[in-house]
Protein backbone atom coordinates (compact mmCIF):
# COMPACT_ATOMS: atom_id res chain seq x y z
CA UNK A 1 0.00 0.00 0.00
CA UNK A 2 1.37 3.45 -0.89
CA UNK A 3 2.54 5.38 2.16
CA UNK A 4 2.98 9.08 2.79
CA UNK A 5 4.67 10.93 5.67
CA UNK A 6 2.26 13.01 7.77
CA UNK A 7 3.11 16.18 9.68
CA UNK A 8 3.14 14.07 12.87
CA UNK A 9 5.86 11.77 11.48
CA UNK A 10 3.32 8.96 11.05
CA UNK A 11 3.47 6.84 7.91
CA UNK A 12 -0.03 6.76 6.42
CA UNK A 13 -1.39 5.34 3.16
CA UNK A 14 -2.18 7.92 0.50
CA UNK A 15 -5.79 8.78 1.22
CA UNK A 16 -8.09 11.34 -0.42
CA UNK A 17 -11.11 12.42 1.58
CA UNK A 18 -14.46 13.68 0.26
CA UNK A 19 -18.00 13.98 1.58
CA UNK A 20 -18.80 10.53 0.19
CA UNK A 21 -15.85 8.77 1.79
CA UNK A 22 -12.18 8.00 1.22
CA UNK A 23 -10.01 6.79 -1.63
CA UNK A 24 -7.19 4.61 -0.31
CA UNK A 25 -4.08 4.32 -2.48
CA UNK A 26 -3.28 0.89 -3.88
CA UNK A 27 -0.23 -1.15 -3.04
CA UNK A 28 2.87 -0.32 -5.14
CA UNK A 29 0.90 2.04 -7.38
CA UNK A 30 -1.97 -0.36 -7.93
CA UNK A 31 -5.65 0.51 -8.15
CA UNK A 32 -7.01 2.69 -5.34
CA UNK A 33 -9.96 1.39 -3.32
CA UNK A 34 -12.96 3.44 -2.20
CA UNK A 35 -14.13 3.32 1.42
CA UNK A 36 -17.53 4.98 1.66
CA UNK A 37 -19.31 6.50 4.62
CA UNK A 38 -22.67 5.16 5.79
CA UNK A 39 -24.93 5.32 8.83
CA UNK A 40 -23.52 1.98 9.96
CA UNK A 41 -19.90 3.12 9.57
CA UNK A 42 -17.18 2.68 6.96
CA UNK A 43 -17.88 0.33 4.05
CA UNK A 44 -15.34 -1.18 1.65
CA UNK A 45 -16.24 -3.42 -1.28
CA UNK A 46 -12.85 -5.06 -1.70
CA UNK A 47 -12.63 -8.86 -1.85
CA UNK A 48 -11.37 -9.23 1.73
CA UNK A 49 -14.20 -7.08 3.09
CA UNK A 50 -16.79 -9.23 1.29
CA UNK A 51 -15.48 -12.62 2.46
CA UNK A 52 -14.25 -11.70 5.93
CA UNK A 53 -16.20 -10.68 9.02
CA UNK A 54 -13.35 -8.45 10.21
CA UNK A 55 -12.17 -5.10 8.87
CA UNK A 56 -10.10 -5.01 5.72
CA UNK A 57 -6.79 -3.14 5.42
CA UNK A 58 -8.47 -0.21 3.68
CA UNK A 59 -10.94 0.46 6.49
CA UNK A 60 -8.15 0.09 9.06
CA UNK A 61 -6.02 2.53 7.08
CA UNK A 62 -8.85 5.09 7.07
CA UNK A 63 -9.36 4.69 10.81
CA UNK A 64 -5.63 5.24 11.42
CA UNK A 65 -5.73 8.23 9.09
CA UNK A 66 -8.64 9.80 11.02
CA UNK A 67 -7.07 9.01 14.41
CA UNK A 68 -3.65 10.41 13.45
CA UNK A 69 -5.02 13.58 11.83
CA UNK A 70 -8.52 14.07 13.30
CA UNK A 71 -9.30 17.57 12.01
CA UNK A 72 -9.75 18.13 8.28
CA UNK A 73 -7.88 21.46 8.44
CA UNK A 74 -4.85 19.63 9.88
CA UNK A 75 -4.63 17.15 6.98
CA UNK A 76 -1.30 17.35 5.11
CA UNK A 77 -1.29 19.56 2.03
CA UNK A 78 -0.51 18.11 -1.38
CA UNK A 79 2.91 18.74 -2.81
CA UNK A 80 3.41 19.45 -6.50
CA UNK A 81 4.72 15.90 -6.90
CA UNK A 82 1.54 14.56 -5.27
CA UNK A 83 -0.61 16.69 -7.57
CA UNK A 84 1.25 15.43 -10.63
CA UNK A 85 0.92 11.85 -9.37
CA UNK A 86 -2.84 12.28 -8.88
CA UNK A 87 -3.06 13.74 -12.39
CA UNK A 88 -1.35 10.61 -13.75
CA UNK A 89 -3.96 8.53 -11.92
CA UNK A 90 -6.70 10.57 -13.61
CA UNK A 91 -5.07 9.85 -16.95
CA UNK A 92 -5.11 6.11 -16.29
CA UNK A 93 -8.76 6.23 -15.18
CA UNK A 94 -9.67 8.20 -18.32
CA UNK A 95 -7.94 5.51 -20.35
CA UNK A 96 -9.92 2.81 -18.55
CA UNK A 97 -13.17 4.68 -19.23
CA UNK A 98 -12.29 5.04 -22.92
CA UNK A 99 -11.48 1.33 -23.15
CA UNK A 100 -14.83 0.48 -21.53
CA UNK A 101 -16.67 2.75 -23.97
CA UNK A 102 -14.88 1.17 -26.95
CA UNK A 103 -15.53 -2.36 -25.69
CA UNK A 104 -19.16 -1.54 -24.91
CA UNK A 105 -19.63 0.04 -28.33
CA UNK A 106 -18.26 -3.05 -30.08
CA UNK A 107 -20.55 -5.31 -28.05
CA UNK A 108 -23.53 -3.05 -28.75
CA UNK A 109 -22.81 -3.16 -32.49
CA UNK A 110 -22.73 -6.97 -32.38
CA UNK A 111 -25.96 -7.12 -30.40
CA UNK A 112 -27.63 -4.66 -32.80
CA UNK A 113 -26.56 -6.78 -35.79
CA UNK A 114 -27.88 -9.94 -34.13
CA UNK A 115 -31.13 -8.17 -33.22
CA UNK A 116 -31.60 -6.85 -36.77
CA UNK A 117 -31.09 -10.32 -38.25
CA UNK A 118 -33.46 -11.98 -35.75
CA UNK A 119 -36.09 -9.26 -36.17
CA UNK A 120 -35.86 -9.55 -39.93
CA UNK A 121 -36.51 -13.30 -39.82
CA UNK A 122 -39.46 -12.85 -37.45
CA UNK A 123 -40.91 -9.97 -39.48
CA UNK A 124 -40.79 -12.01 -42.71
CA UNK A 125 -42.80 -14.75 -41.02
CA UNK A 126 -45.28 -12.17 -39.71
CA UNK A 127 -45.70 -10.77 -43.23
CA UNK A 128 -46.97 -14.14 -44.49
CA UNK A 129 -49.68 -14.29 -41.81
CA UNK A 130 -50.62 -10.63 -42.29
CA UNK A 131 -50.99 -11.09 -46.05
CA UNK A 132 -53.18 -14.17 -45.63
CA UNK A 133 -55.42 -12.50 -43.03
CA UNK A 134 -55.67 -9.27 -45.05
CA UNK A 135 -56.79 -11.21 -48.14
CA UNK A 136 -59.30 -13.18 -46.05
CA UNK A 137 -60.84 -9.98 -44.63
CA UNK A 138 -61.27 -8.57 -48.13
CA UNK A 139 -62.96 -11.79 -49.24
CA UNK A 140 -65.41 -11.64 -46.31
CA UNK A 141 -66.24 -8.00 -47.11
CA UNK A 142 -66.22 -7.15 -43.39
CA UNK A 143 -64.32 -4.25 -41.84
CA UNK A 144 -64.11 -5.79 -38.33
CA UNK A 145 -63.98 -9.43 -37.32
CA UNK A 146 -63.95 -10.77 -33.74
CA UNK A 147 -62.04 -14.05 -33.42
CA UNK A 148 -61.01 -16.21 -30.45
CA UNK A 149 -57.42 -14.93 -30.54
CA UNK A 150 -58.18 -11.29 -31.25
CA UNK A 151 -59.81 -8.78 -33.60
CA UNK A 152 -59.11 -8.09 -37.26
CA UNK A 153 -59.85 -4.65 -38.72
CA UNK A 154 -59.67 -3.13 -42.19
CA UNK A 155 -59.81 0.66 -42.46
CA UNK A 156 -59.52 2.92 -45.50
CA UNK A 157 -56.52 5.24 -45.23
CA UNK A 158 -56.37 8.92 -46.17
CA UNK A 159 -53.96 9.64 -49.03
CA UNK A 160 -50.52 10.92 -48.03
CA UNK A 161 -49.65 14.22 -49.72
CA UNK A 162 -45.96 14.99 -50.20
CA UNK A 163 -45.08 18.60 -51.05
CA UNK A 164 -42.15 18.63 -53.47
CA UNK A 165 -42.10 22.40 -54.15
CA UNK A 166 -43.51 24.57 -51.36
CA UNK A 167 -42.98 27.84 -53.30
CA UNK A 168 -45.10 26.63 -56.22
CA UNK A 169 -47.90 25.48 -53.94
CA UNK A 170 -47.93 28.83 -52.09
CA UNK A 171 -48.66 30.66 -55.35
CA UNK A 172 -52.15 29.15 -55.21
CA UNK A 173 -54.03 31.31 -52.68
CA UNK A 174 -56.53 28.50 -52.01
CA UNK A 175 -53.89 26.61 -50.07
CA UNK A 176 -52.20 29.47 -48.23
CA UNK A 177 -52.83 30.73 -44.70
CA UNK A 178 -51.05 33.34 -42.59
CA UNK A 179 -49.75 32.39 -39.15
CA UNK A 180 -49.62 35.31 -36.66
CA UNK A 181 -46.14 36.38 -35.55
CA UNK A 182 -44.97 34.31 -32.60
CA UNK A 183 -43.16 36.07 -29.74
CA UNK A 184 -40.28 34.22 -28.11
CA UNK A 185 -37.90 35.08 -25.26
CA UNK A 186 -34.60 36.67 -26.27
CA UNK A 187 -32.45 34.51 -23.99
CA UNK A 188 -29.23 36.29 -24.96
CA UNK A 189 -30.59 39.69 -23.90
CA UNK A 190 -32.10 38.20 -20.74
CA UNK A 191 -28.81 36.58 -19.68
CA UNK A 192 -26.90 39.81 -20.37
CA UNK A 193 -29.34 41.81 -18.22
CA UNK A 194 -29.36 39.36 -15.30
CA UNK A 195 -25.56 38.93 -15.26
CA UNK A 196 -24.97 42.67 -15.65
CA UNK A 197 -27.49 43.94 -13.10
CA UNK A 198 -28.08 40.97 -10.79
CA UNK A 199 -31.84 41.55 -11.07
CA UNK A 200 -33.97 38.42 -10.90
CA UNK A 201 -37.03 39.54 -12.82
CA UNK A 202 -40.47 38.03 -12.33
CA UNK A 203 -41.02 34.74 -14.10
CA UNK A 204 -37.45 33.44 -13.93
CA UNK A 205 -35.24 31.62 -11.44
CA UNK A 206 -31.50 32.23 -11.36
CA UNK A 207 -29.43 29.18 -10.35
CA UNK A 208 -25.91 30.03 -9.18
CA UNK A 209 -23.55 27.32 -10.36
CA UNK A 210 -20.35 26.34 -8.52
CA UNK A 211 -17.00 26.83 -10.18
CA UNK A 212 -16.03 24.28 -12.80
CA UNK A 213 -12.80 22.31 -12.39
CA UNK A 214 -11.22 20.75 -15.46
CA UNK A 215 -8.04 18.93 -16.34
CA UNK A 216 -6.10 17.90 -19.42
CA UNK A 217 -3.81 14.89 -19.50
CA UNK A 218 -0.44 15.13 -21.25
CA UNK A 219 0.11 11.97 -23.27
CA UNK A 220 3.79 11.05 -23.48
CA UNK A 221 4.90 9.12 -26.54
CA UNK A 222 6.93 5.99 -25.79
CA UNK A 223 10.49 6.15 -27.13
CA UNK A 224 11.56 3.36 -29.46
CA UNK A 225 14.53 1.29 -28.11
CA UNK A 226 17.87 2.24 -29.61
CA UNK A 227 19.50 -0.83 -31.13
CA UNK A 228 22.69 1.02 -31.97
CA UNK A 229 21.53 1.91 -35.50
CA UNK A 230 22.32 5.48 -36.46
pLDDT of 34-71, one tens digit each?
999 888 889 998 888 888 878 888 998 888 888 877 56
Residue 160 reports pLDDT greater than 90: no
Beta strand ranges found along 39-159 (DSSP E): 41-44, 144-147, 150-153
Q: How far apart are CA 193 and CA 228, in angstroms?
A: 68
Task: List 16's β-bridge partners, or say none.
Answer: 23
Contact 73, 49 (CB under 8 A): no
Q: How far apart are CA 223 and CA 225, in angstroms?
A: 6
pLDDT in tens, 94-117: 999 999 999 999 999 999 999 999
Q: How far apart are CA 206 and CA 197, in angstroms?
A: 12
Task: List 44's β-bridge partners, or say none.
Answer: 35
Residue 2 reports pLDDT greater than 50: no
Nearest to 11 by CA among 55, 56, 59, 69: 69
Of the candidate ranges 1-5, 61-65, 72-76, 159-163, the one whose mean pLDDT is the lowest = 1-5
Domain ranges of the chain: 3-77, 89-153
Contact 1, 57 (CB under 8 A): yes
Q: What is the dihedral of CA 179, 181, 184, 186, to 10 degrees?
A: 140
User: What's the burial of 2, exposed, middle or buried (CB within 10 Å: 0-12/13-18/19+)?
Assistant: middle
Amino acid sequence: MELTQSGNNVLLPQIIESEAGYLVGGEFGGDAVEVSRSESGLICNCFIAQVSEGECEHVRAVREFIASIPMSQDRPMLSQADADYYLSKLGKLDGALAANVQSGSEQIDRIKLWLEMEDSKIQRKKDYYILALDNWMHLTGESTKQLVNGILKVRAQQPEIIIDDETTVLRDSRFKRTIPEKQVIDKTALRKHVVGTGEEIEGIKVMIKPHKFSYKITHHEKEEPNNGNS
